[in-house]
Amino acid sequence: MRKVGSMFNNFQKELKIFLDQKVDEYNRCFFIETDPICIPHFFSKKQDIEIAGFFAAIFAWGNRTTIINKSKELMRLMDNAPYDFCLHHNEKDLIRLLNFRHRTFHPTDLLYFISFFRQHYTLHHSLETAFSQWMSNKDDSVERALNGFYQYFFSFPDVPQRTRKHIAAPFKKASCKRLNMYLRWMVRKDDKGVDFGIWNKIRSSQLIIPTDLHVIRVAKRLGLLTRKQTDWQAAIELTHSLRKMDVNDPVKYDFALFGLGVMEKF
């Protein structure tokens, strides 16, 4: 038994070394250009970064080139000033948005999103509070933040029923891949220049790994995940495995798993 335990520990150490190397390989500025995170990188104002990043994350399913192009199109429709547009638009400004579509995201959804941003930013300086207000310092993950955000996002009048499908939540058993990715962008802090690290009320240790089919496939091959469904519990299980390698910043391994799955077809 002792020999088996030693072999397992050695494998864990070697896996950590391997994944740390992959994190360092992909957590670099070259990564930005071909990833949806390039959209918020076009901006310097905090609120522009938050709004542009949110749309880019919500659009992030399917072909990455299409995601980036549709995000750029929306930013142009907002005069490349999304914060100012959301706060100060008039009815005539909204007319130009009525032909915007990205897959199942239609003008009805877009108009509600903009209405939410206008109402939220009228009262708050940052979008961070839309998530962080539902958490306590004792929370070991952002689960309550995501559930609270869903309820808050759809708490304004005249919510189109069809728009609810675009925001995931753990209580709906969703993996919340796009929102977890967005939180990684806003929360993680390092000196690599990819993630922004502009939020301070949520800790990197509380983040949950974004899980898509590429990440799930690689995680299973590496023995980091056993759950069959791609759901919230799978995201929790994988994050728990990654915390064993870095308790303070488990989602940095998103770079490694994504790079292995998408870039290297591991």
What are the backbone angles phi and psi of residue 231, rounded to the nearest 5°? -140, -170
Average pLDDT over residues 58-62: 94
Q: What is the pLDDT of residues 151-163, one digit of tens each?
A: 999 998 889 999 9
User: Which of 2-16, 85-99, 208-222, 247-261 shows the lowest per-residue confidence on average (mean pLDDT)?
Assistant: 2-16
Q: What is the pLDDT of residues 181-198, one digit of tens each?
A: 999 999 999 999 999 999
What are 105's strand-pairing partners?
A: 102
CB-based contacts of 210: which residues, under 8 Å, 6+ apart?
A: 175, 177, 178, 180, 181, 184, 235, 251, 254
How many Cβ atoms sit within 10 Å of the Cβ of residue 189? Answer: 14
Nearest to 109 by CA among 179, 70, 163: 163
- Whether the CB-CB separation of 205 and 248 falls below 8 Å is answered with yes
Q: What is the pLDDT of residues 11-50, one digit of tens each?
A: 789 999 999 999 999 999 999 999 999 999 999 999 999 9
- Whether the CB-CB separation of 239 and 200 falls below 8 Å is answered with no
Nearest to 114 by CA among 98, 132, 133: 98
Alpha helix (H) ranges present in 44-193? 46-58, 64-77, 82-88, 91-95, 107-123, 128-132, 143-153, 177-187
Q: Name which residue leads in pLDDT, 57 or 13.
A: 57
- Whether the CB-CB separation of 178 and 168 falls below 8 Å is answered with yes
Cα 99 to Cα 97: distance, rounded to the nearest angstrom: 6
How many Cβ atoms sit within 10 Å of the Cβ of residue 35? Answer: 21
Q: Is 251 exposed, middle or buried (0-12, 13-18, 19+ CB in 10 A)?
A: buried
Cα 121 to Cα 254: distance, rounded to the nearest angstrom: 30
pLDDT of residue 263: 86
pLDDT of residue 3: 52
Cα 159 to Cα 124: distance, rounded to the nearest angstrom: 21
Cα 26 to Cα 188: distance, rounded to the nearest angstrom: 15
Residue 105: strand, helix, or coil: strand
- Whether the CB-CB separation of 254 and 224 falls below 8 Å is answered with no
Q: What is the pLDDT of residues 80-134, one digit of tens each?
A: 999 999 999 999 999 999 999 999 999 999 999 999 999 999 999 999 999 999 9
